[in-house]
Structure formats: C-alpha cells, structure tokens
C-alpha cells in the first residue's frame, strides 16, 4: 500500500486524483483465522492493529455487523484526557494519550490530534477538594495536570462567564496535553494499517453465535457462514451483553444512550476543551467551527442512537449560564450513542469463562480517549494471556471486591 505524503498529493493532483488506492480492502471471509475480533470500531481495530504490530499475529479478521466506525466511534465528542484518580485508570488512559501524540505518524494517516488542553471546572467547594486530590494523585502517577485559579481559567478561555449566577467558576483541573482528535480518522487510520498487514475487515456481517467445544471457542456463526478461529475478542461496546450471552456467559454491565450535539459553524471563539460537571455539560470547538456539546446519559437502559429533548434542554441551558455567547446559536446535528456501564464506571479487559474468548467493554462514556491504550492492552492480553495495563480490569474484580471507582472522575463521564 502506498504511503501518504505531500509528494503523493502533488503526484495525484497531476493525475486528477485518479490514482488513489482504496484505503482498505473488503474481502470475503476465509474459513479460518487465528484471531477473530467482533466489532470494527476504534477499540476493535486498535486491538487488531497492535496484535499485528506488537505480536506478529496477522491472520486476523475484524467482523462488523454494520459499517466500519459506524457505532460509538463515529458518535462521540472526541475528548482525550488521562487525569483519572485511580492508578490503573490513569495508567491506561495516559498510555492512550501518549500513543495519540504519535498516532498519525505510526499509522501514516492524519488523525488530527489536537493537544489543545482540557479543563474540568470546579464550581463548588467539594469539586475544588476533589480536583486538588486528583492533581496530587496525577503527580504521583506521572500524569501532567495542575489545579489552576479562576483567573487562569478566564485567561485560557476568555468567553467563559466565571461569575455565573448559580455556579461561579472557582478554579479548574487543567491538563495541557489533553485535547481532541478526529474520530472517523482514528478508525480509518487503524483500518488502513490493519488491511496493509493482511488482515481482513469484513463489514455488513453479523456474528449470530459462538461455537464452542469442551468449554473452548472454536469459531463463530455469521450471516455469511461459519468461521473457525483459535481466539475470539468481543469488542462491541453497548452490545457487549448481547454478544456475551451468545458466547454463554453474562457481563455486569448495562447499556444506555448518551447524547451530544453540534451547533452551526461559527468563527473560532475557544481553543480548549471545557468540562463542567456541576452543571452537567461540556464543550469544545471543532475544526469546522461547530460548537461540540455533550451532557449526560439517559436514566433508563436502552439501545437507541438518538437524543432526548430532556437532555438537550438541560445541557444547553446549563452551558448558556457558563458561556452566554452561545445563547443564540442554532443546533445543527443531534445524536446518541449506546454506552456500556459497569458498576464502578471502569472498563472490563479480561479473559472470560469460555476459554479463548476475551472481552473489552464497559468503557461507559470514556471510550474514545482510551482507544490506543485499550487496543494495546487487549492485544497483549490475547497474545500473551496477561497484560500489566489490563490486569486490574479483569472480570474477577467484581467477585473479589477490587472495584476501581471512577464515578467521580467520570463526572459528566467523559
């Protein structure tokens, strides 16, 4: 596969752009693979990529019932940060953040990573204490964050109203190397790299069952026929419970819809990401000028991919108090994604009761920021049976009471 470069762009411009290759192949499935990954979102594709790059396992199929990146990977708000409280969380999110910094070069694909900085507003005395605690924990973890004053908040984001009538801004937890990336580009870049290594990306193919013999996986049943494998990775986000049931076990997760929206595009007005947990909203500005806005998840379990008027009204009303400048903007698009939540609001990267079946799920509303680190850990677990990044996130923690409580760090839960 040809490398992308400035010279390639110039060459194809002279050819009226008729010489570009397909970014990834769409082959018919083979009868057998060493590894099958179910789910061609960011986490599934990253798992396949690091299986090939780090462990030399390239007889891999990534099976997707819809289209590549059409689930949560294409429905999130692209925030990247690693300022989590618990050590295992900070480790895997910081691994992901550091991989994002060189991901465009690694994949030879511009994922548009923008380390513009992420601030989490403290609007109550309780939040001040909580964020100061997190800043101290991050210092011990080697994660660069700091608690900044309200004057510094205003300096970094001039459009913010720090004297809000209900919740004035008292400071913020600031991670200068956090930021955003282009969600579609992350999936496309991983897909292109996987295809270049000889892996098969099989779209529009649903896995309808898991074949087992003697308590071990031997393959899957799909809408395009049976496919044998030695190992199976389930990486399907909000549908993880459904796939686990097909494999013969249950997961301690629940699925809910999380909504987000974008405004009409406007001229640049902010170059940082701002999260406001107290008023339950967050906002950044995209490269196209849209204000990217998100809020909370639904209060009931569901598998919808649409928003609800309640959350749009609640989120926008709260953000207008903090950012009065956006009050007359029009909404351009509005959507929902299906997120899978565990009780401690931390993910599951684990072996399962079925030998040869591995699961990566439970990222809740923090999945996009973790994609490279998640794929790295899942690939290592599948290849070696053990990963230092994944050990704390095993299914056994729920039985043993080793919870990784990130319900506060997940606040607005991004």
pLDDT of residue 318: 84
How many whole angstroms separate alpha carbon 392 and alpha carbon 326? 42
pLDDT of residue 413: 44
pLDDT of residue 410: 55
How many whole angstroms separate alpha carbon 230 and alpha carbon 219? 7
Residue 298's nearest CA partner among 362, 245, 364, 240 is 364
Sheet of 146-148: strands edge to edge?
Answer: 146-148, 171-175, 118-122, 273-276, 281-285, 291-297, 253-263, 331-342
118-177+255-342: CATH number: 3.30.9.10
Using CA of residue 83, residue 283, residue 280, residue 339, what is the dihedral sign?
Answer: negative
pLDDT (tens place) for every residue of the chain, 414 residues total: 788 998 888 998 999 888 888 889 989 999 999 999 999 999 999 999 999 999 999 999 999 999 999 989 988 899 999 999 999 999 999 999 999 999 999 999 999 999 999 999 999 999 999 999 999 999 999 999 999 999 999 999 999 999 987 889 999 999 999 999 999 999 999 999 999 999 999 999 999 999 999 999 999 999 999 999 999 999 999 999 999 999 999 999 999 988 899 999 999 999 999 999 888 789 999 999 999 998 777 778 888 877 777 778 888 888 898 999 999 999 999 888 899 999 898 999 999 999 999 999 999 888 999 999 999 999 999 999 999 999 999 999 999 999 998 876 654 444
pLDDT of residue 193: 97
pLDDT of residue 409: 60
24-109+182-252+344-400 homologous superfamily: FAD/NAD(P)-binding domain (3.50.50.60)
Domain residue extents for the chain: 24-109+182-252+344-400, 118-177+255-342
pLDDT of residue 414: 42
- What's the angle, vertex CA 272, arms to CA 269 and CA 275, rounded to 5? 110
pLDDT of residue 246: 95
User: If you write DSSP's letter for every residue of 297-322 in order, what string do you get?
Assistant: EPSS-----S--HHHHHHHHHHHHHH
Measured between alpha carbons, how far is residue 361 from residues 73, 97, 98, 163, 414 in Å? 13, 19, 21, 40, 15
pLDDT of residue 130: 92
Q: Beta partners for 227?
A: 220
């Amino acid at each position: 596969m040809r490398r992308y470069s400035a010279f390639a762009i110039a060459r194809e411009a002279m050819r009226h752009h008729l010489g570009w290759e397909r970014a990834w192949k769409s082959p018919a499935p083979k009868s057998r693979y060493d590894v099958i990954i179910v789910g061609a979102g960011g986490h599934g594709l990253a798992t396949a990529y690091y299986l090939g790059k780090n462990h030399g396992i390239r007889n891999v199929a990534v099976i997707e019932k819809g289209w590549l990146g059409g689930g949560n990977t294409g429905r999130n708000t692209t925030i990247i940060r690693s300022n989590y409280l618990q050590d295992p969380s900070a480790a895997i999110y910081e691994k992901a953040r550091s991989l994002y910094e060189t991901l465009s070069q690694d994949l030879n694909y511009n994922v548009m990573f923008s380390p513009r900085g992420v601030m989490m507003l403290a609007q109550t005395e309780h939040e001040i204490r909580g964020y100061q605690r997190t800043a101290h924990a991050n210092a011990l973890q080697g994660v660069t964050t700091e608690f900044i004053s309200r004057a510094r908040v205003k300096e970094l984001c001039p459009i913010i109203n720090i004297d809000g009538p209900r919740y004035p801004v008292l400071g913020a937890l600031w991670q200068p190397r956090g930021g955003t990336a282009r969600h579609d580009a992350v999936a496309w870049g991983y897909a292109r790299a996987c295809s270049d290594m000889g892996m098969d990306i099989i779209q529009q193919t649903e896995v309808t069952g898991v074949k087992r013999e003697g308590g071990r996986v031997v393959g899957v049943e799909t809408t395009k026929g049976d496919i044998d494998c030695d190992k199976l990775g389930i990486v399907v986000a909000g549908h993880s419970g459904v796939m686990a049931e097909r494999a013969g076990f249950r997961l301690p997760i629940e699925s809910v819809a999380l909504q987000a929206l974008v405004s009409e595009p406007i001229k640049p007005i902010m170059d940082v990401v701002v999260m406001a947990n107290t008023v339950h909203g967050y906002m950044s500005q995209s490269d196209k000028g849209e204000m990217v806005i998100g809020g909370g998840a639904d209060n009931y379990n569901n598998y919808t991919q649409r928003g609800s008027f309640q959350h749009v009204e609640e989120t926008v009303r709260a953000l207008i108090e903090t950012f009065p400048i956006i009050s007359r903007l029009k909404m351009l698009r509005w959507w929902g994604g299906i997120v899978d939540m565990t009780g401690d609001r931390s993910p599951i990267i684990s072996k399962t009761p079925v030998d040869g079946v591995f699961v990566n799920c439970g990222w809740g509303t923090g999945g996009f920021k973790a994609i490279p680190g998640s794929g790295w850990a899942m690939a290592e677990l599948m290849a070696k049976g053990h990963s230092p990044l994944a050990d704390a996130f095993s299914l056994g923690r729920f039985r043993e009471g080793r919870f990784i409580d990130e319900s506060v760090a997940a606040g607005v839960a991004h």
